[in-house]
Homo-oligomer: A and B are copies of this chain.
Amino acid sequence: MTIAIIYGGTRQNGNTETLTEHAVQGIVAEKIYLRDHTIQPIVDMRHSEDGFQDRNDDYNSLIDRILPHDILIFATPIYWYSMSGTMKNVIDRWSQTLRDPKYPDFKNKMASKKAFVIAVGGDNPTIKGLPMIQQFQHIFDFMGIEFGGYILGKGNKPEDVLQDKEALFAASQLNLQLKG
């Protein structure tokens, strides 16, 4: 069982990263920092004759790094009560990959994976982050991905999340689970 982490935050060593590193301590994982990559928004060409065009950015290379792994961790700060716009752009592009002849097995491969969400926010995340969790549930359901669970941490300033004992404990439990 191998793991890929998709980091949606824009700040190095942000709270989401701190919490996620806690969850994967001692485990090898492919870590994808979206902030280091250029990802274009989708251009919806589903109903155009020409179909989708190559966007000439880093998106496909990220998909290539994600696909080999069994477990995906979506680690995002809660920006405005959901995942970061950058992470949303990655997921929006899945609509293109689902129709991309270069990835004929995209949905099947994704459907064999298990996903976790780790998200830290400053404004009452265990309540106001719930629509985001429900959104992820719909996303995973559509793709056939098993939703393994989520951790909602509280934090604003760097290292705040280290005070969130429940989130840290949940991360330790996830660590044990990932170590199998």
Q: Is the CB of B133 within 8 A of A132?
A: no
Q: Which chain B residue has the least Cβ–Cβ distance from A124?
A: B147
A120 to chain B, nearest CB (A): 12
Q: Is the CB of B131 within 8 A of A134?
A: yes
Within A64-105, the residues touching B (CB, 8 Å) are: 77, 79-86, 88-92, 94-95
A44 to chain B, nearest CB (A): 5
Q: Which residues of B contact A91 (CB under 8 A)?
A: 79-80, 85
Q: Which residues of B contact A89 (CB under 8 A)?
A: 41, 85-86, 88-89
Please report A residues at the B interface, Cβ cutoff 8 Å.
9-11, 14, 35, 41-45, 47, 77, 79-86, 88-92, 94-95, 123, 126-128, 130-135, 137-139, 142, 147, 149-150, 157-158, 165-166, 169-170, 173
* 15 A–B contacts, CB within 8 A, in A order: A10-B44, A41-B86, A41-B89, A42-B79, A79-B92, A80-B88, A80-B92, A81-B135, A86-B89, A127-B147, A130-B133, A130-B134, A132-B135, A166-B173, A169-B169
